[in-house]
């Protein structure tokens, strides 16, 4: 069952089957994107395939102005060595789609507010166990000109062993009071390029059924022109997952690092940030939102984090 089946507007007549109106001057100019929308019908399968083929990960070899070529070469060899290991598993199609879709949901449809950017990390920072070991970094612009950066390990897994490992990685960093480093990073907001330190990592995701639902919603939006994704209550799921973790991390840090500890203050900040984001999306949520969202097994796991 589609857990948000009643949240999206009812479909309207598909513009793809209408005759195009004649172009009347520059104000009536039809963009290439609009022509495609009018002459083709998007499908959930087509949306899935589009995101599966997309690749926006940072390329390690493009950091030659930051690191010596030999160092980059060695880092590439470390990645390839891990990928050849007997325990290595290629990312699932669903995880690839989620990572690429997440970028659009945040940047094109403002799921975390206007101006928030998503940097998809290189294979090095995704796969090297001693690193951040996450998929993306969220970038938030602050009023004082600074940038807040948060690592997010995205998942569609409903394997509890896998989810527990992600949980332990993030929670252990908070308990120790030491966050992660990202070696290959290039900001979409400022001139930061190279290594960044002190990056907290959270994990978030949706199961395959919800992912398919979002593909359907994207297809419907492309076919109707309606603002489905901008107003979609599914965005509250991701924010709630981060808020739930921030609540737990904050409490854990007080116990392990004290009320005035550095990690505690950081988690207090993130707790307030995610709480404000969740409040900002309140008007988009239907009655019984959380009960409905709990049908997603990934969301259920994180919502019952304690």
**Chain segment 180-230, per-residue pLDDT in tens:** 999 999 999 999 999 999 999 999 999 999 999 999 999 999 999 999 999
Spatial distance between the Cα atoms of 302 and 306, rounded to a whole number of angstroms:
9
Mean pLDDT of the 267-281 span? 97
Spatial distance between the Cα atoms of 91 and 304, rounded to a whole number of angstroms:
26
Mean pLDDT of the 146-173 span? 92
Tell me the torsion sign for CA atoms 17, 23, 26, 31.
positive
Q: What is the band of 23 on the pLDDT scale with cuts at 50, 70, 90?
A: very low
- What does the pLDDT read at residue 46? 96
Give 133-200 as a 3 state SS string.
CCCEEEEEECCCCCEEEEEEEEECCCCHHHHHHHHHHHHHHHHHCCCEEEEEEECCCCCCEEEEEEEC
Write down the residue that tokens 């690749």 correspond to: 55
In contact, 63 and 184? CB cutoff 8 Å: yes
Helices assigned H by DSSP within 177-261: 208-224, 235-257
What 3-state class would DSSP assign to 228? coil
**pLDDT tens track for 240-267:** 999 999 999 999 999 999 999 999 999 9
pLDDT at 285 over 90: yes
- What does the pLDDT read at residue 9? 43
């Amino acid at each position: 069952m589609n857990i948000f089946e009643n949240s999206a507007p009812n479909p309207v007549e598909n513009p793809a089957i209408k005759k195009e109106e004649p172009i009347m001057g520059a104000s009536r100019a039809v963009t290439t994107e609009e022509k495609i929308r009018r002459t083709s019908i998007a499908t959930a399968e087509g949306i899935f395939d589009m995101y599966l083929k997309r690749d926006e990960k940072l390329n390690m070899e493009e950091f030659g102005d930051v690191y010596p070529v030999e160092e980059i070469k060695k880092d590439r060899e470390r990645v390839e060595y891990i990928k050849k290991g007997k325990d290595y598993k290629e990312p699932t199609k669903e995880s690839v789609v989620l990572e690429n879709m997440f970028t659009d949901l945040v940047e094109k449809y403002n799921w975390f507010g206007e101006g928030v950017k998503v940097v998809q990390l290189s294979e090095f920072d995704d796969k090297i166990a001693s690193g951040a070991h996450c998929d993306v970094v969220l970038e938030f612009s602050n009023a004082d000109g600074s940038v807040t950066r948060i690592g997010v390990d995205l998942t569609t897994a409903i394997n509890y062993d896998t989810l527990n490992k992600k949980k332990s990685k993030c929670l252990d960093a908070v308990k120790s009071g030491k966050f992660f480093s990202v070696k290959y990073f290039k900001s979409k907001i400022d001139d930061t390029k190279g290594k960044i330190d002190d990056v907290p990592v959270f994990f978030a995701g949706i199961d395959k059924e919800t992912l398919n639902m979002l593909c359907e919603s994207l297809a419907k939006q492309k076919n109707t022109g309606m603002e489905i994704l901008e107003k979609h209550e599914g965005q509250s799921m991701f924010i709630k997952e981060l808020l739930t973790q921030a609540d737990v991390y904050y409490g854990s840090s007080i116990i392990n690092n004290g009320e005035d500890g550095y990690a505690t203050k950081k988690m207090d900040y993130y707790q307030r940030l995610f709480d404000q984001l969740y409040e900002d999306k309140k008007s988009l949520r239907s009655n019984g939102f959380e009960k409905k969202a709990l049908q997603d097994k990934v969301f259920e796991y994180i919502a019952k984090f304690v």
